[in-house]
Chain A
């Protein structure tokens, strides 16, 4: 799957996802998984949050926010297993698993944000 021709595509997805993850994910996790549960921040109301997610711009934003970082994860985690654990003999399985997660996550994001 990965060869001289396709590697630049995977690497570009990795890089784009890395930028999106670096700029946008920390604040997202901080607000909804730390600040709100710990009571540092008032939880946004259900209806207004749903209305926010319903707007087309938020949907596109959330789709990019989910999809690209998953491809970033797929590339990086694949090489972590490759270099760190040295399970080169499982290369195909690792590749299918990592990019399978990225593709399934992208499909799930597309479906969910389409039906919001």
Chain B
């Protein structure tokens, strides 16, 4: 195959810029970082993620409840008529619907908070880890006792 007539051909090719460098060409091409685009609704795909977002959103219900308490104290300061107006506003159907949702979120917060405590706080007694029930259990008891006390105090003001 190698005839003297073609012997010059490899030489011609090797004179090109590609052949002279065994390393690949350097270009100023900027490498793209590997950053997959995550959708804003990434949490809709899995129930566990939805629960996580709902739990985090319970903080809105917490702020809402505080706002109601502040408005109630303000109405109390302003006098009986202002307080009557406050009570009237709270009994609007859309307000009750909103507060049913807010209350559900508050319950979600309480339950997830109590159940999270044993995971956040590891208590060891005699070298053994205390079972989760013994940490979240007393919190449920405290929750019920506190709620009952508040009920009794408010009922006694009737």
Contact (Cβ within 8 A) B143 A32: no
A65 at the interface (CB under 8 A from B): yes
* A19 and B113 within 8 A (CB): yes
A52 to chain B, nearest CB (A): 6
B residues contacting A by CB (< 8 A) are: 38, 40, 43, 53, 56-60, 62-63, 65-70, 72-74, 76-77, 80, 83-84, 87, 90-91, 95-96, 99-100, 102-103, 106-107, 109-110, 113-114, 139, 142-143, 146-147, 150-151, 153-155, 157-158
13 contacts between A and B (CB under 8 A): A17-B62, A32-B68, A32-B90, A33-B99, A34-B103, A41-B155, A49-B76, A49-B83, A53-B76, A70-B62, A73-B66, A84-B53, A101-B63
A23-B143 contact given A38-B96, A105-B70, A108-B70, CB 8 Å threshold: yes
Is A86 an interface position by the 8 A CB rule? yes
A109 lies within 8 A of chain B by Cβ: yes
Given A34-B100, A36-B87, A53-B73, A27:B150 Cβ within 8 A: yes
Q: How far is it, in angstroms, between the C-alpha of A38 and the C-alpha of B147 when the chains are bound?
A: 19
Residue of B nearest to A109 (CB): B70
A37 vs B95: C-alpha distance in the bound complex, in angstroms?
10
Interface residues of A in 30-46 (CB under 8 A from B): 30-34, 36-38, 41-46
Contact between chains at B68 and A80 (CB < 8 Å): no
Mask: chain A, 62-74; 1 = CB below 8 Å from B; 0 = not: 1001100110110
Q: Please tell me if A77 contacts chain B, counting CB pairs below 8 Å.
A: yes
In the bound complex, residues from chain A placing their C-beta under 8 Å from that of B60 are 73, 77
| Nearest A residue (CB) for B84 | A46
Q: Which residues of A contact B57 (CB under 8 A)?
A: 80
Known: A70-B66, A77-B59, A80-B59. A27 touches B142 (CB 8 A): no
Cβ of A85: which chain B residues have Cβ within 8 Å of it?
40
